[in-house]
Structure formats: C-alpha cells, structure tokens
Chains A and B, each alone.
Chain A
Amino acid sequence: MPSHGRLSPRSAEVLPGRSFGHILGWRLWRLPNGTELPDHEGRLMSIVIHQSPWLPGEPKAAPFPPDAYGSGVNCGIYAFKTILGALGYAETILTDWTVQPFVLGEVALWGAVVEHERGYRAQYAYPYSFRALIYTSDPRSRIFETVEVQRILDLYNVRGTSRPGRIYYLPSRGGYRHG
C-alpha cells in the first residue's frame, strides 16, 4: 500500500504493486473566462496544458499512461501529496496580475500511478474536493462572482467538500491571505 497516499477506507493491497481504491492528492485548476477559451467556459482546466478541460462526471484520462523510467516519464495527471506542495506550486505561476482565479482542491487518482517524492502522476483522475479559490490583487481575477464559481463547481458534484473558501495571493504583500 502506498505509504504516503490516502486511500479510501476500503482500500487493501492484495498483490505487490497493486492497490485498491484511490489515492488523494492536491492540485490546482483554473477557470478561464469566455473570452480566453470560449469553448471551455465554465469548465475546470488544467494549469499546464492550456486547453485541457476537466468535464463534470467524466474521469480525466492522461493521453498516455505514466511510467517511472520509460517513454511515459513525464506523462500523467499531476498532483502533490500535500496542500503545501500545491500552494507552493501556485506561487511559482501566480503573479500580482494573474487574471484567472485558481481552484485548490483534492483530486482522486487511480490507474497506473507513479509516486514521486512530493507528488504523483496518474493515469486517471477526478476532482474530490474544492477547498479554496485563489485570487490575486488584479480585480479582473474576480471576474467570476462567487455565486458563479460555485455554480460551476457544483456541476462536478464532488464527494468531498465543495464549498471553497477564498484566499488571495498577494506576492507584493507577503504571500497568501485569507479572504
């Protein structure tokens, strides 16, 4: 059983290298506005892959299964083991003028999984909880009112917490602040 992953209560390992249930990791999604990606308005999007939507009710599948050392060495859906890992990553991509709000939450992972020091790469994933909306000091990042964001998140009908709080990333003022 993976020592760092949170598996579901029914999880049990019966064969070496194989676990049952799912792993929970932490990751970020972004919410594009209709001007930027009109085809994906109202959908959670991956951070790195620009036009990669996460559709409500459908597992997100990596184009190619990840592996540790072979041809799929960079493939997979990424997640961090800890919330601090995800927040630290957000600091590397957010600036004072980032327009899009980011969504921080847990993600369920399954299928082929490569465990790394600080995270995972998985073959399949689906949002498990939404914990925080990350805004910046740019007023355009509040382009979605909270009600609108919540309407989008409700479409995913996640199993865990679905009512995120607000935090602000203000690098010029020392980092994160609660809303």
Chain B
Amino acid sequence: MANIGEPQRQYTVVPQQIPLPLPEEPAPAEQPAEPVPAPQEQEEEQGCPA
C-alpha cells in the first residue's frame, strides 16, 4: 500500500464534467452534475474489505 501520510481532511468533489473522454458535450453552465453523496452518509453503511 502506498504511504501517503496521515489523513488531513475529507470532502466531496463534484465533477462539472466527468474527466472521461467519451462525452464531448459542454458542461452545464452553472449547475453541477448529480451530487455525489457525502462520505459521512455512507461510512456506517459500508466497510472496507480486508
């Protein structure tokens, strides 16, 4: 496992335009894409496999 040091903070990055090559449509002017659920909402629901 890569050693990237201690965690400092967490946040959610909502892509305005997902950085994939397939969709070439322009990003919506001001509205972000479907929001990604915040990690806090999921941490008790799913664990990390060993």
Residues of A within 8 A of B (CB): 2, 7-8, 10-11, 17-23, 47-48, 57-59, 63-75, 78, 80, 85, 89, 108-123, 126, 128, 156-159
Contact of A19 with B7 in the complex, beta carbons under 8 Å: no
Known: A63-B49, A110-B36. A21 touches B7 (CB 8 A): no
The majority secondary structure among interface residues of chain B is: loop
Instruction: Give complex CA distance A48, B26 in Å.
Output: 35
Interface of B with A (CB < 8 Å)?
Answer: 1-22, 27, 32, 36-40, 42-44, 46-49
**Contact indicator B38/A78 (Cβ below 8 Å):** no
CA distance A113 to B11 in the complex (A): 6
Give every chain B residue within 8 A of A8 (Cβ-Cβ): 16-17, 19
Given A10-B16, A20-B13, A112-B37, 9 other A-B residues pairs in contact with their CB atoms under 8 A: A17-B11, A19-B14, A64-B47, A70-B44, A72-B46, A73-B48, A78-B4, A114-B7, A114-B10
A-B contact pairs, 25 of them (CB 8 A): A2-B11, A7-B13, A21-B16, A22-B13, A48-B2, A58-B20, A63-B49, A64-B47, A66-B10, A67-B39, A67-B43, A71-B47, A72-B39, A72-B43, A72-B46, A80-B2, A110-B14, A110-B15, A113-B10, A113-B13, A114-B39, A117-B6, A118-B4, A156-B21, A159-B21
With A and B bound together, what is the CA distance between A8 and B9 in angstroms?
Answer: 20
Q: How far is the CA of A10 from the CA of B44 in the complex (A)?
A: 33
Q: Which among B2, B20, B21, B36 has the greatest number of chain A C-beta atoms within 10 A?
A: B2
